[in-house]
Structure 1
Amino acid sequence: MRLQPDLAALVVTEDALGPVRVLGGADASSMRFDPTRTVHAAMVALDAATLAPIGAGGASRSGGLPYIPGLLGFREVPVLARAFAQLPVKPDLILVDGHGIAHPKGLGVASHLGVVLDVPTIGVAKSVLRGQVEGALPDVPGARAPLVWKGRVLGMALRTRRGANPLYVSVGHRVSLETAIAWVERTLRGRRLPEPTRLAHEEAARVRLAAAAAAG
Structure 2
Amino acid sequence: MAHQASGPLFGESINIYMDDSNIAIGGRKVYDIYQKSHPEAPRRRFWYYDFEKLGEIITKELAKQYGWSEDDPTVHKQYNFYGVNLNRNPQLRRLPRRHDVKLYHCMKNGLQKEKGADCKLTADFTDRVKSTNPFLEAAYFIVLSGDADMVPAIEKAMKYGFVVHVWSWDESLSGQLKRLEKDRRGLVKVHKLDERIVDFTL
- TM-score category, normalised to shorter length: 0.3 to 0.5
Whichever structure has more strand as a proportion of its residues is 1
Whichever structure has more helix as a proportion of its residues is 2
Q: Using structure 2 for the length normalisation, give the TM-score.
A: 0.37
Work out which structure has the larger RCO, using CA pairs closer than 8 Å and 6 or more positions apart in sequence.
Answer: 2
